[in-house]
Amino acid sequence: MDMLWNGWGDPARATPLPDTVTGLLRELLGVKPRDTASVRLAEIDVPPSPLDDAAHRALLAAVGDRDDRVRRDAETRVRHTRGKSTPDLLRIREGDVTDTPAAVVLPESHDEVLAVLRACAGHRLPVVPFGGGTSVVGGLAPGRPDAFVALDLRHMNRLLDLDPVSRTATLQPGLRAPEAEALLAEHGYTLGHFPQSYEWATIGGFAATRSSGQASAGYGRFDEMVLALTLATPEGTLDTGRAPRSAAGPDLRQLVLGSEGAFGVITAVTVRVRPVPRVRRYEGWRFASFTQGAAALRRLAQDGPRPTVLRLSDETETLIGLAQPDAIGAALEQSAGCLAVVGFEGTEEDTAHRREGAAAVLREAGGTFAGEEPGERWAHGRYSAPYLRDSLLDAGALAETLETATYWSRVPALYTAVRDALTATLTEAGTPPLVMCHISHVYENGASLYFTVVSAQGDDDAVAHWTRAKHAANEAILAAGGTITHHHGVGTDHRDWYVREAGPLGVEALRAVKRRLDPDGLLNPGVLLPSD
């Protein structure tokens, strides 16, 4: 199944907002109903593919002369236009197809990917690798307006190898996360990687963007799971990772992880796997304030026992009930303070031991046990928030997210700076927002902050309206010592701030790598690094 072309996920799961929520949007935020309905797919005027006959023949030859593997029809091209950020959705709902690929190519193997890249180099065609299409940072829209090819990896979706002795698995990049989990579960293993995009995102996308799952406190980030990678480039193949750890020079895996298709196309990923947990327990804890709750999370992250899932919603997110998206509209939370969701996975004995120890720490830090119901509700609805965003857009609201990370000592200042920047910018534009935040990834030395923003779309261009607020938040992040992205990636939305974060010498080093692997600058141009 393809994702909804103008929204998130499975069209059958789209649900309208309850009348109570729609009323609050109108009364509190001044959200106005949409004047016109979104365009339908059949109504979009898609220009003919600009791919010339010679390039078409070269691409066909690269994938075995199969017409179904080089597609130029309008619907396929629209479904590969941009990603799923709010600006992406606003633009496609208006029928904007300026970033539509000239063709969508579907290889089946590493060798076919190499052949496609050679064909594209021969015809000066930029290439955008396409996995699940879930990018929310402009990672699927090249920075050049030329005709380009979307390289859809969906047919590279096999489990290539499983080593139960070493507990490793080698996966192809086009495997969607649920498919990967199902294949591993047949052998009794799991990745333990469950980001909000889990139902649609792919293994290759996880590696290319340094994804972080909602159980990262226990299983780690995806880049921490990766042991080896194979990269196809216009200049040949790069194989990395002969052992779990090595002192043989700089780790080339780190060049590929987070490279977002700018250096090459990931065609295989070897990852650490773990036994499927026998027990899963999720529960809720209440704290009087975000500051108090963050201090409790820091204690568990630094001194343990560390839960598998550990997240904390601020006062506003708790009040609205966004920690449990399926409960939005049922009733506003009556209790003041902040909700923490704490989860444990593993054996019965290990889970019981960590749960008991964590409870003692949380109580000592001022937490109040809220029972299992809040945690189970979160687990049941944890993939629902993007569908909620679609409903908010349908109602005429602007709804978007952004995230960052920093050291524990800087968390309070970063939290305040970003929230203030968003509030001030949108209020000055006449659309005072609701700004919510949670901590969802913790480390011994710091944590991530994930913000959700809801406001009216404004009377002018909604994309420009959000872009001004986003830029203000990005400036606040760098000024407060945060990283421009924790797990969404750089794409084009964060590129200019990433360049500042990396520094001139760091950027030149990355440019040198790109020139060697992609001398014509055809791989995802304008993503991660500015085009030359």
User: Structure tokens of 271?
Assistant: 């990852």
Residue 513 included in any domain: no
Average the pLDDT over 19-34 and give the result: 88
pLDDT per residue over 194-229, tens digit each?
A: 999 999 999 999 999 999 999 999 999 999 999 999
d(CA 335, CA 333): 6
d(CA 282, CA 378): 8
Report the range of poorest mean pLDDT among 142-151, 359-368, 399-408. 142-151
Cis before residue 305, ω within 30 degrees of 0?
Answer: yes
Average the pLDDT over 119-128 and give the result: 97
Q: How many CB atoms lie within 10 A of CB 128?
A: 24
What local confidence, expressed as pLDDT, does residue 332 receive?
A: 47
Average the pLDDT over 65-80 and give the result: 96
Residue 340 included in any domain: yes
For 137-150, give one letter per residue: b (16+ CB within 10 A) or e.
bbbbbbbeeebbbb
Return phi, psi of residue 439, to 5°.
-95, 125
3-state secondary structure of 2: coil
pLDDT per residue over 291-313, tens digit each?
A: 999 999 999 999 999 999 999 99
Q: Number of folded domains in the chain? A: 2
d(CA 289, CA 133): 37
Q: Is the pLDDT of residue 147 over 80?
A: yes
Residue 20 included in any domain: yes
Q: What is the CATH number of the domain that holds 89?
A: 3.30.43.10
d(CA 25, CA 23): 5
DSSP string covering 196-259: TTTTT-BHHHHHHHT---TTHHHH--HHHHEEEEEEEETTEEEEE-SSSS--SSS-THHHHTT-
Report the range of poorest mean pLDDT among 113-122, 333-342, 365-374. 333-342
Q: Is the pLDDT of residue 329 over 80?
A: no
Q: Is the pLDDT of residue 52 over 50?
A: yes
d(CA 402, CA 381): 20
Half-sphere exposure of 299 (CA within 13 A, CB side): 17
Q: Is the pLDDT of residue 135 over 90?
A: yes
What local confidence, expressed as pLDDT, does residue 334 receive?
A: 54
Residue 309 included in any domain: yes
Q: Could you tell me which residues are beta bridge partners of residue 168?
A: 163, 272
User: Structure tokens of 365?
Assistant: 């830090």
Residue 47 included in any domain: yes
Residue 354 sits in which domain range? 279-383
Identify the residue with better confidence: 374 or 34: 374
* Residue 331: pLDDT band with limits 50, 70, 90: very low
What local confidence, expressed as pLDDT, does residue 18 receive?
A: 83
Residue 211 included in any domain: no
Closest C-alpha to 156, from 194, 120, 116: 116
What local confidence, expressed as pLDDT, does residue 13 receive?
A: 87
* Residue 327: pLDDT band with limits 50, 70, 90: low
pLDDT per residue over 371-411, tens digit each?
A: 999 999 999 999 999 999 999 999 999 999 999 999 999 99
Closest C-alpha to 92, from 7, 11, 200, 15: 7
What local confidence, expressed as pLDDT, does residue 341 receive?
A: 97
Which helix (DSSP H) or strand (DSSP E) does residue 292 occupy?
Answer: helix 290-303
Identify the residue with better confidence: 141 or 368: 368
Residue 158 included in any domain: no
Query: Locate tokens 């990370």: which residue?
Result: 405
Alpha-carbon dihedral sign for residues 245, 250, 253, 258: positive
Pairing of strands 236-240, 309-313: unpaired
Which helix (DSSP H) or strand (DSSP E) does residue 104 occupy?
Answer: strand 103-105
Question: In the listed set 383, 406, 439, which residue is the last one of a domain according to the structure?
Answer: 383
DSSP conformational letter for 338? E
Angle at 209 between CA 204 and CA 215, to 5 degrees: 90
- Per DSSP, which regions of 428-471 are E strands? 434-439, 446-456
Residue 377 included in any domain: yes
d(CA 107, CA 152): 7
Q: Is the pLDDT of residue 29 over 90?
A: yes
Q: Could you tell me which residues are beta bridge partners of residue 483?
A: 405
CB 484 within 8 A of CB 424: no
DSSP string covering 28-57: HH-----SSPPPPGGG--PPPP---HHHHH
User: Structure tokens of 512?
Assistant: 């040198």
- Per DSSP, which regions of 301-347 are E strands? 309-313, 338-346
Pairing of strands 103-105, 149-152: parallel
What local confidence, expressed as pLDDT, does residue 330 receive?
A: 52
Q: What is the CATH number of the domain that holds 361?
A: 3.30.70.3450
Q: Is the pLDDT of residue 130 over 80?
A: yes
Question: In the listed set 152, 182, 215, which residue is the last one of a domain according to the structure?
Answer: 152
283: left (phi over 0), alpha (psi -120 to 50) or beta: beta
Question: In the listed set 339, 360, 383, which residue is the last one of a domain according to the structure?
Answer: 383
Mean pLDDT of the chain: 95
**pTM, to two decimals:** 0.96
Residue 381, CA distances (Å) to 177, 284, 378, 452, 516 in order: 17, 14, 5, 16, 45
Share of the chain above pLDDT 70, in %: 97
pLDDT per residue over 515-528, tens digit each?
A: 999 999 999 999 99
Residues 6+ apart with CB under 8 A from 144: 126, 525, 526, 531
Share of the chain above pLDDT 90, in %: 90
pLDDT per residue over 245-257, tens digit each?
A: 999 999 999 999 9
Q: Is the pLDDT of residue 145 over 90?
A: no
Average the pLDDT over 283-294 and give the result: 98
CB 100 within 8 A of CB 46: yes
CB 387 within 8 A of CB 5: no
Q: Is the pLDDT of residue 326 over 80?
A: no
